[in-house]
Amino acid sequence: MTKTINRNHLRELESEAIFIMREIAAQFERPVLLFSGGKDSILLVHLALKAFHPAKIPFSLLHIDTGHNFAETIEFRDNLAKKIGADLIVGSVQKSIDKGRVTEETGVEASRNKLQTTTLLDTLEEIKADAAIGGGRRDEEKARAKERFFSHRDAFGQWDPKNQRPELWNLFNGRKNVGEHFRIFPISNWTEMDVWQYILMESIEMPSLYFTHKRQVFKRNGTWLAAEPYMQLKEGEEIVEMDVRCRTIGDVTCTGLSLSTADNLEDIVIEVAAARETERGGRSDDKRSEAAMEDRKKEGYF
């Protein structure tokens, strides 16, 4: 029997993403892969491994660490980098605060989410990265639905959504002036469902946070949040222990947890299929205003 690649929508999305990975390697001098420890960035690493096999992936991993990450995320990150033999660069938001580049928000709902942008742009400049590969997907959020695969950023790291380069066929134009860079999104066309189905199909190892576990949590604005030491409780908020899992992983301050008993990938796929809220529904960073994502993206956010 002839051995071929099985054909389905996941394989098509995979081929497209691998094509983009190879374009990045061919068109840029110092690309980095933005690694957050979440499923989308783990998927990017997997696709990069496939694109360049048997060679190592030609990108370093860059993690912008808010200092408010789940311990599991950091551990998973370090192990993965070691396993694939990739360079790991960590940009620290704490350092940006210490250096006075940014000012920490105050109050109970303080988050370092917005501060990450400065740390990210400073780090990209420091390591002279000319392309940053991100796991952004167009189905996630309405501003992201307008994003290109190859998204141009000016010398200040800014995105100009009204003046984007047209992208046609398989022809990607990564030309730029010195000091400018590109954000590149190989999994633009994937949905949350595609991501989980693919992870299941490929049996990709995932952090334990995605599977059900017992955790100390409290409820705020209808969302369950992890009761980590730096989370300040408001009056009336109570810490309880629940069976939860993460649907997305960001930093602790803005990651909503869902009550779930899913302990394997099949169950997660079924859960995602039945979900009636988008995955970013639990992300308080998006809820600050209707254009919260667009505004952050224009400034240079992920």
Site for another protein in 135-164 (CB under 8 A): 138-139, 141-146, 161-162, 164
Specify the residue, 144 or 245, whose C-beta has the smaller distance to another protein.
144
**CA-to-CA separations, 217 to 11, 70, 158, 236, 241, in angstroms, rounded:** 38, 13, 37, 14, 6
Specify the residue, 74 or 275, whose C-beta has the smaller distance to another protein.
275
Q: Please report whether residue 6 would count as binding another protein according to CB under 8 A.
A: yes
Specify the residue, 50 or 101, whose C-beta has the smaller distance to another protein.
50
Specify the residue, 237 or 294, whose C-beta has the smaller distance to another protein.
294
Q: Please report whether residue 266 would count as binding another protein according to CB under 8 A.
A: yes
> Which residue, 146, 152, 155, is CA-closest to 172?
152
Site for another protein in 20-39 (CB under 8 A): 22-23, 25-26
Q: Please report whether residue 60 would count as binding another protein according to CB under 8 A.
A: no
Site for another protein in 161-180 (CB under 8 A): 161-162, 164-171, 173, 175-177
Site for another protein in 187-226 (CB under 8 A): 188-189, 191, 193-194, 197, 200-201
Q: Point out which span in 86-94, 231-239, 240-248, 289-297 binds another protein (CB under 8 A).
A: 289-297
Q: Please report whether residue 15 would count as binding another protein according to CB under 8 A.
A: yes
